[in-house]
Structure 1
């Protein structure tokens, strides 16, 4: 579990050392655009331009295609990041919580997805509750998977994870096992604990069909549980002055129960506390209060 050591998950995340990525992308937007034209020609022919770079970072580059924009081209330098994002689209297909994926290419580590122009003001009426529900949909997605998807992901079931060594970034294995037992009790042993969404207000968009969606899913993993996302929601709510962290937890409980989970408030609080103890998280931002 890696990210900058700041923000809602401070202490639970670990910064990567300099030089961890052997072939970083250019951070020059003009150079990135030239590379994007080459990638389109070689791997996604027929996509109309023009190409405009909106993000050029050493790990990922993001471009709009067309005027007005209609597609996003995302280029990954890191294979793990690319595979995580492709996996997210596969696991959440039909849930309407991500943009539509049109094409991906393993050779170039690129994805083509719908461009979602409409941002969401999370302080607007019901918007934050929509976000909480979208997160709850992701956390309970494995309940609705087709048989072939469920079978392919069975190794990541909560019951199996209980019998496996904890991830290397976990500092207290006993608390991690307690967390997994609580998740197992709430969701069932076949539940795959999807979590670690890159939740930020700027990543929240509205699809053409009106559904709220998240535009960046490269951090999603099938072994972390949804607890860090609930903690991040509490952090964002407090930052926006939108609602209390306790209200966020209660809204989350309402939505996951509707979607088939069996959490109760006391066990969810125990799970949040266990996650913090297991990972070194410095603050739950009131999510447990």
Structure 2
């Protein structure tokens, strides 16, 4: 069992096992940039322009393509992580919450998406509220899926997840209480998509002015959206918003109700504390104030 070392979810059990990455990528920027150029030529041949490395980590690398940049190339070391991010584009397609997907390659484990240069100013209260609305749309996405998508994701329905405790939780009864609260708010056939990698540099403006998330590699249908509410409170505190925990909780409830969920303040607090107990999360960042 591993735990998140720092940040908004410090202490929480990590669903990925220790030593999960079997074949890490190179972290030398010149090396991975040369490899990225070959991947583009082979698997995304219609894309031309200079390639510049943005990040070079063992688990993934990202590059801008073009001058000025027109696209982002994301290269995964792990097939499951690639497939998870690729699936996110299908799960969230109807809501346009992500940059436009230009192409992907299962063989190369790469995604090519539109480059969005404009970061969102999360110190602006209205823009942060837009981010909370976006996160709620992720959490309620399964309510807007077509029947075929529902059928494909049936194993991740909350009533199915209740049948077996995941190995990474510390307190299974607390985990089941959290899932039951989610089922009460969204219905038993809800698929609890969540676990977003929310960060200030991952929230960008689309050409029409709407917000988009530019990194969804951590999205999962079995961790729930509860940790995202915790991360929102953490980000709101770092953006110096007044009473960030209660404000995020109130705005999340507002947007969730507009999206058809039936959370109450009491049940949302219980889900947050239940998730903390189940996973070892050390702080709710004021959400319980």
The question of a shared fold, defined as TM-score above 0.5 by the shorter chain, is answered with yes
The CA RMSD measured in Å over matched residues stands at 1.6
The C-alpha deviation readout for 1:235-281, integer Å capped at 9, x for no partner, is: 11112212321010000000011011010101111111110111111
Instruction: Supply the distance in 2 between the matched residues of 1:125 and 1:131 (Cα, whole angstroms).
Output: 10
Matched with 2:69 is: 69
Given that 2:59 and 2:78 are in contact with CA atoms closer than 8 Å, whether structure 1 keeps it comes out as yes
Matched with 1:180 is: 179
Mind listing any 5+ residue stretches in structure 1 that lack a counterpart? Answer: none
When normalised by structure 1's length, the TM-score is: 0.96
Distance 1:251 1:195, change over 3 A: same
Matched with 2:220 is: 221
Structure 1 residue 19, shift from structure 2 partner: 5.3
Which aligned pairs between 1:128-147 and structure 2 lie closer than 5 A?
Answer: 128-147=128-147
Which aligned pairs between 1:95-110 and structure 2 lie closer than 5 A?
Answer: 95-110=95-110
Distance 1:10 1:177, change over 3 A: same
Structure 1 residue 225, shift from structure 2 partner: 1.1
Structure 1 residue 14, shift from structure 2 partner: 3.8
Structure 1 residue 94, shift from structure 2 partner: 2.1
Structure 1 residue runs of 4+, over 6 Å off? 15-18
The C-alpha deviation readout for 1:29-80, integer Å capped at 9, x for no partner, is: 1111110111011111121111111111111110111111111110000112
Mind listing any 5+ residue stretches in structure 2 that lack a counterpart? Answer: none
Matched with 1:11 is: 11
Instruction: Supply the distance in 2 between the matched residues of 1:264 and 1:15 (Cα, whole angstroms).
Output: 28
Structure 1 residue 288, shift from structure 2 partner: 2.0
Report SS of the residue matched to 1:98.
coil
Report SS of the residue matched to 1:103.
strand
Matched with 1:80 is: 80
Distance 1:127 1:24, change over 3 A: same
Instruction: Supply the distance in 1 between the matched residues of 2:4 and 2:65 (Cα, whole angstroms).
Output: 30
Instruction: Supply the distance in 1 between the matched residues of 2:122 and 2:48 (Cα, whole angstroms).
Output: 33
Instruction: Supply the distance in 1 between the matched residues of 2:110 and 2:131 (Cα, whole angstroms).
Output: 27
Given that 2:50 and 2:67 are in contact with CA atoms closer than 8 Å, whether structure 1 keeps it comes out as yes
